[in-house]
């Protein structure tokens, strides 16, 4: 499921065991959205569930912009530092450690004489950008970001990733407040129907929340009360005030 900071922006449901791996599910879900949108200008913010260099290269070939949180020990070759002399390394809550053009390595499966498979590291010629920042309040927290967008500032890269927390809050909202985790059907069609209906309700509540500047729980409670009053009013008008007709 994708989230644009205000509303859910897309969803794909997979029912094959192989899609339990984010390395497989995430790229397919993202590329399906790109195909649907002919004027696609999104920047996808992705956590450490996706680390495949081949997938990142595929995104770049298809003009899909991304910011991915990379693993700290990610093997790479630095081509050029983008930090200029006397550049301000202060990024608000963070301190800039590195901003470089890099080449990444990928594992190529190779069989030995015994038929066992091992992976040989090979460098991919595609250029990516590595931004490393350290949190000022918690210096032990160092974040490594990979992106294929060379026009963003280092601060924008870090700020964009911080916005990803919005989707975690949204997930908690639909699980706890809208009970999406309780599936009434385990078929793919049943799950899709459940999720789509839940997201329609979620979008209405989120619009109400934003319009009235409320929190998630308050928005849900007031939305339900006002909807109940509206339905009651419609029923009274429809029955002409006669409860026996309802």
pLDDT digits over 197-218, tens only?
Answer: 999 999 999 999 999 999 888 9
Mean pLDDT of 83-108: 91
Tokens 């956590």 belong to which residue? 47
For residues 148 and 231, state if they share a domain. no
For residues 136 and 33, state if they share a domain. yes
Domain count, the chain: 2
Residue 241 confidence class, pLDDT cut points 50, 70, 90: confident
Question: Which domain covers residue 91, as residue numbers?
Answer: 2-169
For residues 60 and 160, state if they share a domain. yes
For residues 132 and 231, state if they share a domain. no
The reported pTM is 0.83
Over residues 18-42, the pLDDT tens digits come to 898 899 999 999 998 887 777 777 8
Q: 223 in helix, strand or coil?
A: helix
Q: Where does a domain end: 145, 169, 193?
A: 169
Task: State the average pLDDT for the chain.
Answer: 89
Q: Higher model confidence: residue 15 or residue 133?
A: 133
Question: For residue 245, what pLDDT is reported?
Answer: 76
Mean pLDDT of 63-78: 93
- And the tokens for 39? 């004027």
Q: Where does a domain end: 111, 143, 169?
A: 169
Q: Where does a domain end: 109, 144, 169?
A: 169
Q: Higher model confidence: residue 142 or residue 186?
A: 142
DSSP string computed for 118-171 = EEEEEE----EEEEEEEESS-TT-EEEEEES-SSS-HHHHHHHHHTTHHHHHHH
């Amino acid at each position: 499921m994708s989230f644009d900071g205000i509303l859910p922006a897309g969803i794909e449901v997979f029912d094959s065991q192989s899609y339990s791996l984010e390395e497989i599910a995430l790229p397919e879900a993202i590329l399906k959205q790109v195909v649907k949108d002919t004027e696609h200008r999104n920047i996808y913010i992705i956590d450490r569930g996706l680390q495949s260099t081949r997938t990142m290269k595929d995104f770049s070939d298809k003009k899909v912009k991304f910011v991915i949180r990379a693993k700290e020990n990610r093997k790479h070759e630095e081509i050029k530092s983008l930090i200029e002399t006397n550049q301000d390394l202060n990024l608000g809550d963070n301190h800039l450690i590195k901003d470089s053009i890099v080449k990444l390595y990928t594992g190529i499966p190779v069989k030995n004489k015994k038929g066992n498979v091992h992976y040989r590291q090979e460098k991919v010629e595609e250029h990516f950008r590595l931004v490393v920042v350290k949190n000022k309040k918690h210096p032990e927290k160092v974040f490594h970001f990979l992106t294929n967008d060379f026009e963003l500032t280092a601060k924008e890269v870090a700020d964009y990733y911080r916005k990803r927390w919005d989707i975690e809050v949204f997930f908690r909202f639909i699980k706890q407040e809208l009970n999406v985790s309780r599936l009434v059907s385990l078929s793919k069609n049943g799950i899709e129907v459940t999720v789509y209906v839940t997201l329609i309700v979620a979008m209405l509540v989120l619009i109400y929340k934003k319009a009235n500047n409320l929190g998630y729980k308050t928005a849900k409670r007031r939305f339900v009360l006002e909807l109940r009053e509206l339905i009651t009013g419609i029923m009274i008008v429809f029955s002409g005030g006669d409860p026996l007709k309802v």
